[in-house]
Amino acid sequence: MKKIVLFVIGLLFLLGFASAYQVNIDAPKSLSLGKPLIVTGTTTLGIGTPMDVVLYSQLTTTTEIARKIVYVQSDSSFKTYFDTTNLKKGTYKVEVPASGLGSSSENMRIIQLIDRADEIYLSSLSRQTFNGKIYIAGTIKGEENSGVQIEILGPSNFVFGPSYVNTDNSGSFSADISITGPGEYEVSFTDAKGYIGTRTITIGGGTAAGATPVITATKSTVFSAHAKASRDSPAYFIVRTAIGPVVLHTSSSIDWVIEYVDANGVLHMENNQGAQNPERAEFIGTGKIVYVKVYPYKYSDNSEAFLYAENVNSVAVSPTVPAPFAATAPQTPTETPQSPL
């Protein structure tokens, strides 16, 4: 009888040991607002297993901010991104909520989001009269005898930089930059520590000398491109945006996922419509290239992915995996995807 009891206890121990699995995630301890929060991890779960990665705010109480679904790759890893552009500075955490984890699992990380916007002071006017140039001047804390990188986006596909501007022994800088006409100009500042912030300067006045007035059409042209796509082999597109609101959407009948990397390098994901309606993404175009990835949510779907775009200059299928997506290009599963946790 004693041997039977010991055998049962041992069996229960082995079953409990076998049922425990490992999940370990990693994320930066601190990050500047506006930069993508990259979460990576490894697990002993099978290839293709879906898992939730959740971002929580802990400013006052713990509140869920965003949730992403990741799939275990062939090397047992997973990776996802969270956009921090519209968040507030403070304490956040990312977590893979799960039960039955092994004792050595680390499924949660604390992150401090830092707002660097107050590190830069602009002494130049936020509203200026058009004279062929935009004047930018100010001071950056902690950047004495160093420098700052400036990039400007403006109307009519105007782009300047990125260009390096020196700072003096007080951290001050100034620059006169030629522009093409009146309008709103978005000026972004970056230093060796990373992204600092963006300021808007409005240039008023008449039409630039020699410029031909442009009449905006009441209905924008819709560009499109298509390519075969599956969960393991997404379709990649190159979208040359115009200035202003851009709308991307897919066809319906399949639950599509749209991922895109904006002009600031921030990755966004849209998967809200299901199979009944086209998946949709909206953002403000800056006249730069935006890379887009489209794939079906289900592993069982394999179909032609159509991408339609409004207020863009062109849409084309990318012949290779664009660099912003190269690190997350999916591996071909060698096992049947398991059920969700």
User: What's CA 212's distance to the chain center, in Å?
Assistant: 37
Spatial CA neighbour of 120 closest among 185, 183, 184, 193: 193
- Strand (E) positions, 45-170? 50-57, 63-71, 77-82, 90-95, 108-114, 120-122, 127-129, 133-140, 147-154, 158-166
Segment of 148-162, 164-178, 291-305 carrying the highest mean pLDDT: 291-305
The answer to whether the CB of 122 falls within 8 A of the CB of 196 is no
- Identify the pLDDT of residue 2: 52
What structural domains and CATH numbers belong to the chain?
A: 2-114 (2.60.40.1930), 117-204 (2.60.40.10), 222-326 (2.60.120.380)
Give the per-residue pLDDT at 7. Answer: 52
Q: pTM for the whole thing? A: 0.44
Q: What is the mean pLDDT of residues 263-287?
A: 85
Q: Average pLDDT over the chain, rounded to whole?
A: 81
Residue pair 277/252 in contact by the 8 Å Cβ criterion: yes
At 230-258, the pLDDT tens digits run: 999 999 999 988 888 888 999 877 899 99
Query: pLDDT (tens digit, 9 = 90+) per residue, 18-61?
Result: 457 899 999 998 887 877 889 999 999 999 999 999 999 987 78
